[in-house]
Chains A and B, each alone.
Chain A
Amino acid sequence: MHGGDVHPVEQRDGERPIERRPRPGRLGRPGRPGRLARASPLALAATPLLALVLVVAVLLVVDPVRAVTGTVPVESLAVERVVLEPGRIELRVRNDGRTDVTLAQVQVNGAYWQHTTDEPRLGRLGGTRVVLDYPWERGVPLRIALVTGTGVVVDHEIDNPRETLRPSGETARRLAVLGLLIAPVPIAIGLAWLPAVRRSRPAWFDAAMAFTVGLLAFLVVDSAAEGLDAAGEAPGVLDGVGLFAVGALGSVAVLAAAGDAGRGTVRMPGHGDTAVRLAVLVAVGIGLHNFGEGLAVGAAISTGEVALGTALVVAFTLHNATEGLAIAGPLGGAASASPGPGVRGARRSRAWVVGALAGLIAISGLPVVGGLWLGGLVLPAGWAALAFGVAAGAVAQVAWAVARWLHGRGAALTPLNAGAFVAAVVAMYLTGVLAG
């Protein structure tokens, strides 16, 4: 861009006096004020938009890509959701390709099977329900093949078919109980380490914080892996990796801005308010992660991809108790670091403390219930990519904030702190292996 014609009025403080007269632009007529100078910024911003619309229109009409490749884009269908009832299979199918698709026939386990659809001709992003009467058996894998009008075959496998959860009060209640058992309860148990942390010497408190950072670091990696995994299951048109990126980068930006806004307080180490603020931040990060976890587990339960056994629930419980300990870390500092007048937490009423702890448990644990409901009853699996993206970004931001705060306290990277960090990562890994 050349300043001459785009910004006829140049103004640089300290370099030269303000020029009132426009300099003659290279393309403008000398001596006359440029029309651009008088145009409103809104109109100027709209011009490139109009040009873009024009180019897109030309691309759509002329279709130069077709002229180069000479082929029609390949048809694509995505099975977004499967609803299994005794003797009946229902598929929610969406055209996630770049061309119209006709769903001509359906095969189940290598045999053509009669089906009904709401609408076999699917425009781009168009969806339909496909219903088959089929004597499927619990636990016996189903291979479903959708055959399009041009003979393209879209395979969908249901590894471990079981009756789909029906959205009912009873189902919601059962999912809620499951959610409470695997997140808020173990987190509360983990928080029960708080008195121990409070009474420990400052060095041990620093170690607890390092433990928290380690746990959060692990959750960042875990969220990213889970999110990219879910991205693979998202319909092509949703662009799962893109969804993940939007979630991750978006939450980093939002939380960083929020952190900046409250910078003044965050930089006061040992202050009771800071401790609570940090604990809330950690709880929010863990809560977002647990929401994504709930979504993924809910979707897996509803599509019969996991057999949710007792072992898995036990593993989740251990996993999440570690998360409670991580929240206890910053709170412990409220008492131990500076026993001065700033320690408001110590002087609060018992009811206030209990309420605050309950709030932290709710923030970090309850999202798992929402995730289970959404994933188990409503959302296609692919949306977990967005949720995990948000979690990865948020947890990374929180880990960074806690680490910075620890650094601000003057806590060095002692063997004890490093050991606590590694211990957290290993603990999360081991409990994760149990769950895997």
Chain B
Amino acid sequence: MRRRTFLARLGAGALGGVGTAAMARKRPQAAAPAGPAGGDAHRGGHDGMGTVGRVDHARNGFDPHRILEDFDTGTVSRDRQGRVVHEYEIVTFPKDIEVAPGVVYPAWTYDGRVPGPTIRVTEGDRVRIRFVNGSAHPHTMHFHGFHAAGMDGVPGAGEVEPGASFTYDFVAEPYGTHLYHCHSLPLREHLARGLYGAFIVDPAGGRPEAHEMVMVMNAFDTDFDGENEVYAANTVAFAYDVDPVPLHAGELQRLHVVNVTEHDPLNSIHLHATFFRLFRTGTSLEPHEVTDVVTMGQAERHMLEFTYREPGRYMFHAHQTEFSELGWTGIFEVS
């Protein structure tokens, strides 16, 4: 009974509240992208390769293009010691999502979206997350970062039973590109079903002004045979291929890439026609190397900075070509 009324509240309350607050922090759009949201005619010249039709993002309740630039700072206040506090309420519940046109996957979600909200705070800020379990299985939020053992979000420390809640409370450290995910058992299943998200901690001194994006590299085993049928950045196969990502030439791009791919040991990102400065795990202010491809194991994540010199269409994709042709490929439309 309690859970039913609670679930009824979910659709409007939790989702709308947290979601819209988060959407507010969007980068100012300088110019409209060249051309309308392209159909198949706009695809990057790979004859015949790709899916047929379009994903109904509205029915999914989230759009990879918004997730790309959707950084959630929560409700910001200060505690008695003067420390900045970011407060969130995140609800986990199951939801069928369209991961490729017409292909529906029974996902487990944080706040109804996959990946979950991109939590963004500054180093030293306090993070308080009221985590509510609206599903039939126990779940957690396990953050990669410093925190007390009791805040680890594992079975025995912050695992939340169905219908219950728990508040994770920690100071965000170190700065970098991080992630959170469910750590309930069986772990592989809880990750594969969609319980993960990016956790970005900015250095106290900030970083140079840039257009920032987040891509969570994920995959879906739609027939549950231990192999993925769909690969993507931010869940929807070919989303940035069907509708390219608009960028501006000469503008500094900062891309946070998190790998949560299940069932495959590695995933990667490769940018066409440019090189990027690689900040491994984002934990340094100086780049580790300059390259155009980086390969990551699960939970590895990096920060990439790059600039396109000239307008044009530039592909980006996993350089496991198998993954790219199963959905993890996209296009930067540089104007």
- Answer yes or no: are A and B bound together in one complex: yes
Query: Which residues in A have some Cβ–Cβ distance to B below 8 Å?
Result: 102, 104-107, 110-116, 120, 132-134, 145, 147-153
A151 touches B220 (CB 8 A): yes
B223 touches A112 (CB 8 A): no
Chain A residues near B225: list those with CB within 8 A: 153
Rounded to whole angstroms, the CA-CA distance of A150 and B220 in the bound complex is 12
- In addition to A112-B49, A152-B223, 14 A-B residue pairs with Cβ atoms within 8 Å of each other are A102-B102, A104-B101, A104-B102, A105-B101, A111-B322, A113-B48, A113-B50, A114-B50, A114-B52, A147-B103, A149-B102, A151-B103, A151-B104, A153-B222
Instruction: Report B71-103 CB contacts with A as 1/0, cut-off 8 Å.
Output: 000000000000000000000000000011111
Chain B residues near A107: list those with CB within 8 A: 229, 326
Nearest-Cβ distance from residue A338 to partner chain B, whole angstroms: 69
Q: Which residue of A lies closest to B105 (CB)?
A: A151
Q: Which residue of B lies closest to A102 (CB)?
A: B102
Given A105-B51, A112-B238, A132-B48, A150-B322 contact (CB < 8 Å) = no
Q: Which residue of A lies closest to B100 (CB)?
A: A105
Chain A residues near B51: list those with CB within 8 A: 105, 112, 114
Nearest-Cβ distance from residue A303 to partner chain B, whole angstroms: 23
Q: B327: CB under 8 A from chain A? A: yes
Chain B residues near A120: list those with CB within 8 A: 102
A114 touches B49 (CB 8 A): yes
Residue among B101, B222, B225, B237 with the highest chain A CB neighbour number at 10 A: B222
Nearest-Cβ distance from residue B321 to partner chain A, whole angstroms: 9
Residues 38 to 62 of chain B near chain A (Cβ within 8 Å): 40, 47-53
Interface of chain A, main secondary structure: strand
Chain B residues near A152: list those with CB within 8 A: 222-223
Given A110-B322, A110-B326, A150-B104 contact (CB < 8 Å) = yes
Task: Sort chain B's interface into a size bin.
Answer: 20 to 34
Rounded to whole angstroms, the CA-CA distance of A113 and B52 in the bound complex is 8
A104 touches B103 (CB 8 A): yes
Q: Which residue of B lies closest to A132 (CB)?
A: B48
Chain A residues near B53: list those with CB within 8 A: 104
Q: B159: CB under 8 A from chain A? A: no
- Checking A113, A145, A147 against B100 with a beta-carbon cut-off of 8 angstroms, the contacting residue is A147
Interface of chain B, main secondary structure: loop
Nearest-Cβ distance from residue B48 to partner chain A, whole angstroms: 5
Some 17 contacts from A to B, beta carbons below 8 A apart, are A102-B102, A104-B100, A104-B101, A104-B103, A106-B52, A111-B49, A111-B325, A112-B326, A113-B48, A114-B49, A116-B52, A133-B48, A147-B229, A150-B104, A151-B99, A151-B105, A153-B225
Chain A residues near B101: list those with CB within 8 A: 104-105
Closest 5 CB pairs of A and B: A151-B222, A104-B102, A111-B325, A153-B223, A104-B103
A105 touches B52 (CB 8 A): yes
Q: Which residue of B lies closest to A148 (CB)?
A: B103
Q: Which residue of B lies closest to A154 (CB)?
A: B223
A111 touches B326 (CB 8 A): yes
Q: Which residue of B lies closest to A121 (CB)?
A: B102
Rounded to whole angstroms, the CA-CA distance of A148 and B101 in the bound complex is 10
Chain B residues near A145: list those with CB within 8 A: 229
Q: Which residue of B lies closest to A105 (CB)?
A: B51
Chain A residues near B100: list those with CB within 8 A: 104-105, 112, 147
Residue among B105, B220, B223, B237 with the highest chain A CB neighbour number at 10 A: B223
- Checking A115, A134, A148 against B52 with a beta-carbon cut-off of 8 angstroms, the contacting residue is A115
Given A102-B102, A105-B101, A151-B229 contact (CB < 8 Å) = yes
Rounded to whole angstroms, the CA-CA distance of A149 and B56 in the bound complex is 13
A112 touches B327 (CB 8 A): yes
Q: Which residue of B lies closest to A110 (CB)?
A: B322
Rounded to whole angstroms, the CA-CA distance of A111 and B322 in the bound complex is 7
Rounded to whole angstroms, the CA-CA distance of A175 and B53 in the bound complex is 41
Rounded to whole angstroms, the CA-CA distance of A363 and B14 in the bound complex is 78
Rounded to whole angstroms, the CA-CA distance of A102 and B99 in the bound complex is 15
Rounded to whole angstroms, the CA-CA distance of A114 and B102 in the bound complex is 13
Instruction: Report B181-211 CB contacts with A as 1/0, cut-off 8 Å.
Output: 0000000000000000000000000000000
Q: Which residue of B lies closest to A153 (CB)?
A: B223
